[in-house]
Amino acid sequence: MKILLVFFVALVPGNAIAVSFILASDSLEISVGQEIEIRFLLDTAGESVNAVEGEINYPTEILRLNEVRYGGSPVTLWVERPRKGQEGRVPFSGAIPGGFEGVLSPYWEGARPGTLFTMVFTAVREGEGILQVMGAKALLHDGKGTQAAVSAPQLSLRVLGEGKPQVLPPLNDVFPPEAFSLQVARDPTVFEGKYFLVFAAQDKETGIARFEIREELPRWSFRRLFGETILQEGESPYLLSDQRLQSIISVKAVDLAGNERLAELAPRHEPPWWENVLWWGILGVILFGGILLWKVWGKHGAGHLDEI
């Protein structure tokens, strides 16, 4: 969870600067069976923030998490992407290269809080519960990685009895994630100095759901014939399986609506010739042709000698 934060900034204590993590909803009361959006915002208080980390706890006795949306989030490099799957918890960690000071617009003065992500819940039972942010951290974009003092108010929610069914409309996202690039890097402080892949993709509508990473040797490689192709989900930075950098690397970014964007990177090094099936095929043809010529020449040559 700390890898990308360490990669961009150092955790250095500094001056207390108020940065707020805010849980917000259009309503604090809903009925059983209804859906509700709860936005998680970052108010930088006029400062520039380049990394955030923490965890949102929600009451599972009254709420069920359906999905997490982070389209348009100022966080573009997620170490731990917020998503459903951990009951009662939504951990998050990521970096904002260049820093984030808030949402600017010609329609208002100053900067407003930015939405890091939005959680969609369904009320499952009557009762009251609290959503709260635990272990919240924010690092300033000041060249020193100063850790800011943060505040994270709780959000109280009340679920009433059965009401009129209300389901939020799905987001109409027909656009793929934005184009992105891949870069291979190596750093003695990351993955024990081994080669790793760095990438960042954004989707402004619904957000990125997952990355599918493939490492595939060239078509005519012996090792590819024997199944040495790596395909798995991952995040940036991603430790490469092929430390010889002989594979074609591709990353498919898939957003929450199922739209896809593919990025590829050519091998840095070519496999040695003895791992190339084509070379062995050529040598085989030459060898077979030589044997065939030798047999033909031997047969006809012996006949000419007998005539003499």
Q: Are residues 68 and 189 in the same domain?
A: no
Q: What is the CATH number of the domain that holds 100?
A: 2.60.40.680
Q: Are residues 107 and 228 in the same domain?
A: no
Query: Left, alpha or beta for 194 (phi > 0: left; psi -120 to 50: alpha)?
Result: beta
Q: How many domains does the chain have?
A: 3
**Which tens digits make up the pLDDT trace of 226-277?**
556 678 888 888 999 888 888 889 999 998 888 999 999 998 877 655 565 5
Beta bridge partners of 123: 63
Looking at the domain assignment, is residue 51 inside a domain?
yes
Number of Cβ atoms within 10 Å of the Cβ of 46:
12
Of 134, 162, 190, the domain-final residue: 162
**Which tens digits make up the pLDDT trace of 149-208?**
899 999 999 999 876 666 666 677 778 888 999 999 998 888 999 999 998 888 877 788
Beta strands in 47-154 (DSSP E): 49-57, 63-69, 77-80, 89-100, 114-123, 127-140, 146-147, 150-151
Looking at the domain assignment, is residue 169 inside a domain?
no
Q: Are residues 72 and 54 in the same domain?
A: yes
Q: What is the pTM of this model?
A: 0.69
Of 162, 196, 220, the domain-final residue: 162
Q: In angstroms, how far is CA 62 from the centroid of its own chain?
A: 30
Q: In angstroms, how far is CA 49 from the centroid of its own chain?
A: 20
Whole-number Å distance between alpha carbons of 23 and 41: 6
The strand pair at 29-32 and 89-100 is best described as unpaired
Yes or no: say if 293 and 212 are a contact pair by the CB < 8 Å rule.
no
CA nearest to 59, candidates 19, 119, 117: 119
Q: Are residues 241 and 282 in the same domain?
A: no
Number of Cβ atoms within 10 Å of the Cβ of 120:
18
**Containing structural domain, residue 240:** 182-273
**Which tens digits make up the pLDDT trace of 280-298?**
555 656 666 666 667 767 6
